[in-house]
Amino acid sequence: MQCGAQHRLASPVPVSRRGLGQRLARERGRVHERVHDRVERARRVARGGEGRRGLCPGREIAVHDGHGGVCVFETERDRSPDARSITCDEHHSAREHAGMVTMGTKRPLGRGSDAMLDERLGLTGRSVVVAGAGGGGIGTAVCRLLVEAGTVVAALDHDPAHLALSERAMDEAGGRYRSFVVDVRNADDVAAAVAEAAAAGRVHGLVHVAGGLFPDQWASLLETPPETFDSVVELNLRSAFLTTRAVGTHLVEQGTGGSVVHITSIAALSAMPFGAAYAAAKAGMVALTRTAALELAHSGIRVNAVAAGTVRTPRNVAQSSPDLAPAERAAIPLGRRGRPEDIAGAVLFLLSELSGFVTGQVLAVDGGSSTRPSFLDDDNLPVFVRDPEVRARLLGN
């Protein structure tokens, strides 16, 4: 995991030049009190551009100016002159992670309309658990986008090497996070990791990404061994139940509301030949999503799902060509496979205050493939329309 960088930053406060004092006053309690005592000093810095002003030995505020706005930080400097930021490759269990967190985000929040968007998202400084966070695919894209939005991520994954990919992405984005090596199929491990994340600050939500169907698990329904079916359901459905139960319990106890997002599949909305266990598990996630949404709504907790279509990830890129074949392109109305960032964008929306009146819903992010009827040919005409003149007229030939 990333051991704390030597410069620790409090939650950044996006402000405009005109509203610096008023915004800092509203943010009282989120930024150290001494920052508020030096509002006038910060104003002078904002007018003159970037700069730093000392508070006392080892502490300062920094104001970064540009593009129509300023960003004010309170910084605690390491007192050792030889201190350097270091990256550790070792990973720890949930119970060994107390206090181990990458501190600070240098994300330039206060850039004109960006400050307004940050406020509308309502995620700055909030903690979100991401289960299945590693691997360089959807989990990594979700982690990076969340820290870019100011979220503090609690990243859970069973593989330290996979987790390192997301840590690197969050470091590049200047984000704050905590990393936990956790098997999300183990109830005790999940509960311990979530409790550790909650101990560091109130949890706002959960993104459950963990799941999948491995190549050796593909089989017809009649040839699928019961143990394979159980294994697929355990990874894709039971794990989602465990993480939702653990995070949901803390959200209810906090009484602060929150948001839960499950990553399911468009296979849950129809069928998946040679992947019955996967389709059944993902359909179960949809039912879990809707049931949890109703049960938790009275606590102000929203629960939604993203039904992902075909997405190119490191796990499947070796089994597919870089370019889509004509038949593949025709199956996806938007003409391309999805990217992890496409799923992450939908997740950000559902976690944020922009979707504050949305719960119990399944958002398909699939390039339109789930809306395409099976009876259409490559030209988007029904296969039974064979009259050459009709086809020529409709296709403009």
User: Nearest Cα to 256, choosing from 300, 194, 213?
Assistant: 300
Q: Which DSSP category does 396 fall into?
A: T
| Helix, strand or coil, per DSSP, at residue 298 | helix
Contact 247, 192 (CB under 8 A): no
4-29 per-residue burial string, b: 16 or more CB within 10 A, e: under 16: bbbbbbbbbbbbbeeebeebbeebee
Reading the block at residue 289, the tokens are 């999503």
106-132 per-residue burial string, b: 16 or more CB within 10 A, e: under 16: bbbbbbeebbeebeebbbbbbbbbbbb
Look up 278 and say whether it is catalytic. Answer: yes
CB count in 10 Å sphere of residue 91:
18
Nearest-angstrom CA–CA distance, 207 and 303 = 10
Crossing angle of helices 160-172 and 138-148, in 10° steps, is 30
Catalytic site residue from 179, 278, 351, 355: 278
Catalytic residue numbers, as ranges: 278
